Amino acid sequence: MKSFIARWIKRASIAAVIVAAIVFFIDRKVTRDAAPYLYSDVRDMPHKKVGLLLGTSKYIASGYVNSFYKFRIEATIALYKAGKIDYVLVSGDNGRKSYNEPEQMQEDLIKGGIPKERIFLDYAGFRTLDSIVRCKEIFGETDITIISQQFHNERALFLAQSKGLDAIAFNAKGVSTRTGLKVYIREYFARVKMVIDLVFNKQPRFYGPGIEIK
């Protein structure tokens, strides 16, 4: 019995090391491949017609405003006012009537000075993959600026390049590790899931009729 347990522990340990190595390799590759296309200073940004703002919830469970959300809104407004983007495509989750990321973000973008007619909403951006693919297939935009935090931008850029988009990304202000620890940990596994989705050609949950941004 002891020898059986010892063998099981050994095999489990080997498997854990292999999994950890795969996660580490994917994480490093995504970060490395995205690096040339990331910007953190508005002044350095090339002009693009459309900024793809990746959605997130405005509030966290405690009822406070989500810092990831706040900083993405601020980044988008800064890009628009600096003339670095002409339109904003807000892509987020609207999976139920009581939860509508795109319209909430639109409301705050308008408050920040972006005209409503310059904002387009993608209500079916349930995942980053959906947002990227739908940007190309539904809205017809392939030359874009992605807007989110750096860790998220890196994954979104990897997806965009894999799907044939000519994308760059602007890094919204980051959130401290203490505040965003769960999000940062989850990102490692999101990157592995992304690679699996690409290998198996995972498609967005919805497509629909085309929408021209103009």
Question: What total number of domains does the chain contain?
Answer: 1
pLDDT digits (tens, 9 = 90+) for 40-86: 999 999 999 999 999 999 998 888 999 999 999 999 999 999 999 99
Does residue 210 sit within a domain? no
What is d(CA 149, CA 155) in angstroms, rounded to the nearest whole number? 10
What is d(CA 206, CA 68) in angstroms, rounded to the nearest whole number? 26
Does residue 204 sit within a domain? no
pLDDT digits (tens, 9 = 90+) for 129-174: 999 999 999 999 999 999 999 999 999 999 999 999 999 999 999 9
Does residue 195 sit within a domain? yes
Does residue 105 sit within a domain? yes
CATH code at 178? Answer: 3.40.50.620
User: What letter represents residue 141's amino acid?
Assistant: E
Does residue 43 sit within a domain? yes
Full domain range(s) for residue 112: 2-199
The arrangement of strands across the sheet holding 38-39 comes to 38-39, 166-171, 143-148, 48-54, 85-91, 119-122
To the nearest 10 degrees (0 to 180), the angle between helices 177-199 and 150-162 is 10
Does residue 208 sit within a domain? no
Would you state the pLDDT for residue 201?
96
Does residue 206 sit within a domain? no
pLDDT digits (tens, 9 = 90+) for 115-140: 999 999 999 999 999 999 999 999 99
What is the reported pTM? 0.92
Does residue 82 sit within a domain? yes
